[in-house]
Amino acid sequence: MRRLFLMMMALTACDPAVVGEDDAGELPDAGQLIDAGQADAGQADAGEVDAGEVDAGEPDAGDVDAGQLDAGPPDAGVLMVDRSNPQLYRFQFTAAAADPDAGRALGNELAALDTRVTPKGLLVVYLHGAGAPGTCGSTAHGDFLAQRGFHVIGPCYVSDYGVGNCGNDIGGCRLEAFDGVDRTSVITIAPPDSIEVRVVRMLQRLQTLNAKGDWQYFIVGGKPRWDRIIISGISHGASSAGVIAQVRPVARAVMLSGPLDTNQAWLTQSSLTPVDRQWGFTHSNDPQHPGHLSAFSALQLPGTAQRIEAGTRPWSDSHRLFTSIDAGNADSSHSSTQAGGSSPRAPDGGYRFGDAWDQMYGAP
């Protein structure tokens, strides 16, 4: 019945709040199309993250199957994405639009899905850096991942409390920001403002805006379906992704320009996500680089640090990757590990770090 419903949806009038990259017209806040050149407003710990640029050199990663409903990998259950109108969909709405109970971190949340490619049945939850950005996440990084078959969301979450205020329990602060359970007097974060609840509310909102994307597949029993989720982020978001991977059994954890949290207890605690599903990537010109390498070691990520331009994928299967490719000043180097304005380009227009991202996220 569900397959029949989705096929009927494809034949009926399009939801006016759902718009792909080829659609025109103005959008309501509930499902706004992000312009291809729009800069992301998220901030990293050591400076503003440059992003928002579409990877113009990235070819489509699959054949178009007009009208085909993809069921995903054999173990993915009942994921059904309607690809009858193949395009790159981008969505933007406020945290309050997704959940009227939201009270903090009320910026614009981002999502992307590319129905021109075969869906992987995996959701990337991408966490922005420190601060209170007006737009949360990276349009460009979301596009890069969506073009590889991932569903992608970038929730707004509370990340402006200053981890230095957390003393020896930065992990406790990050956990409270994640699930809204009271753990520290430093911050007070209610469940509607927590990452875990925001993920569910975003998916529910996206299901309303874009039922053909089958976003509800990533919710089970009112909770995120963590075994089909890649938790990822940059800077502050990278460290939080590492903490989340310890307390939830995620498909993968991908940490860009992080983790940091030097000498914090959480770095050496046991993890529900095996370390062979966790990756880190850092830039040698980033002032935080030594701390990132130290965190890779404390987390016991597999392998030794590998400079990506000195070798080729898979870099001896190491999960500790770094680069020294010129990306500008220290702040730009810090933000260059995600797709966007400061991330170096190859002569053909593609991203120099594309192979590294593919390796970490598990793209072909």
Burial code of 297-328, b = ≥16 C-beta within 10 A, e = fewer? ebbebbbebbebeeeeeebeebbbbbbebebe
88-94 vs 81-82, strand pairing mode = unpaired
Distant-in-sequence, close-in-space partners of 215: CB < 8 Å, separation ≥ 6: 151, 203, 204, 206, 207
pLDDT of residue 22: 34
Does residue 259 have a cis peptide bond before it, meaning omega lies within 30 degrees of 0?
yes
List pLDDT tens digits, range 155-204.
999 999 999 999 999 999 999 999 999 999 999 999 999 999 999 999 99
List pLDDT tens digits, range 29-71.
333 333 232 333 333 333 333 233 333 333 333 333 333 444 3
pLDDT of residue 316: 98
CA dist 239 → 25, 167, 264 (Å):
39, 15, 11
Q: Is the dihedral of CA 116, 22, 361, 347 positive or negative?
A: positive
List pLDDT tens digits, range 236-248.
999 999 999 999 9
* Domain regions of the chain by residue span: 2-361
Structural tokens at position 40 = 């992301």
Q: What is the mean pLDDT of residues 205-229?
A: 97
Residue 282 has pLDDT above 80, yes or no: yes
Kindly report the pTM of this predicted structure: 0.82
CA dist 190 → 128, 133, 196, 245 (Å):
19, 19, 11, 21
By residue count, the chain amounts to: 364
Residue 100, Cβ density class (10 Å: 0-12 exposed, 13-18 middle, ≥19 buried): exposed
3-state secondary structure of 239: helix
Residue 348 has pLDDT above 90, yes or no: yes
Q: Are 131 and 335 in contact (CB under 8 A)?
A: no
pLDDT of residue 78: 82
pLDDT of residue 77: 60
Residue 337 has pLDDT above 80, yes or no: yes
Backbone angles phi, psi at 267, to 5 degrees: -65, -25
Q: Are 183 and 176 in contact (CB under 8 A)?
A: yes
Share of residues in the chain with pLDDT > 70 (%): 79
